[in-house]
Amino acid sequence: ADDIEISPVKRIPLDTGKTKDKPILFALNGYVYIVQSLDVFKIDNINLVLNRVGSFSRIGINEYVSFVRVAQAEENTIIFVRTQIGNTYVYSFTDTSISFLHALYLPYFKDCKFFIQDTDLYLAVINNQGDNLSDIIIFKWLGTHLDEMSRKNIRSAIEIHTFPTTKGTEVLIVLHKSTKMVTHIEVYEFYNNDLKKLQYIPINKNCTHLKIFDRDSQHYLVIYDTSGNNSVYFWEVSHLKTTFNFTTAGDNTYSEILKINNQITMISPQQV
């Protein structure tokens, strides 16, 4: 729109330290936090300055944080952290402190998502050993730690997404890619600590990534493709059903789906 203008408000210096890894940002309770190396900073919304919250303890001096997932469980904020050499840790988090809770042994970790079911917090983790057998694991937050509830064998999983259904279950969508297997999506349903496979969907090997969005209480899945021929599925009772295709030009790597004034807008930045 002609009446919208975007301009810099303030430049906030960030010491990158000895690492060349990019800072990780996450939003929580209306604030933006930045993870850099082993430190967490909070952006002051009024003064636009960085305030240091604390550091992740128990991590080696030559390690830095390369992956973060954050979730809230009642009055607790839980942070799942993975370092660049593959160590995984769980912390509790407040505005003024970061407390170590425990480590998780996940040598073949690839991706994870938190979700809520019946007020309980769960973590779905996918592991990847290439074409060799690996697994998807569901952990439950028990107030002091994450405990394993369910496990299923999988191969070549690279990405996971979740959404809740109207019947109180959680749907897990896993993207599988490898050099030997057909690129495909597997759909699971989780309820009462049981993980059940519902669907297998072969897709184009040029699939780059998946996106989930909601519209009018309906869940949709977008499958992005390097060719620009992208597919949209929607959730119908107990399975994903194809609905339409759309075409984009160029690279879809940084594509995003936004809801603006209750309208779904798909944005695909391109390099000129």
For 225-268, the pLDDT digits (tens) are 888 888 999 999 899 999 988 887 766 766 777 776 677 777 77
Residue 135 CA to residue 113 CA, distance in Å, equals 15
Check pLDDT > 60 for residue 2.
no
Name the more confident of 1 and 213. 213
Rounded distance between C-alpha atoms, residue 214 and residue 134, angstroms: 31
Q: For the residues 25-52, what does the mean pLDDT come to?
A: 91
3-state DSSP assignment of residue 251: coil
pLDDT tens, position by position, 125-177:
999 999 999 999 999 999 999 999 999 999 999 999 999 999 999 999 999 99
Q: Give the integer Cα–Cα distance in Å for 55 and 37.
A: 9
> Based on the number of CB atoms within 10 Å of its own CB, is 100 exposed (0-12), middle (13-18) or buried (19 or more)?
middle
pLDDT for res 256: 74
Task: Give me the pLDDT at residue 1, please.
Answer: 46
Q: What is the DSSP letter of 171?
A: E
Q: How confident is the model at residue 215 (pLDDT cuts 50, 70, 90)?
A: confident
R_g of the chain computed on alpha carbons: 20
Torsion of CA 241, 247, 252, 258, to 10 degrees: -70
Question: What is the chain's length?
Answer: 272
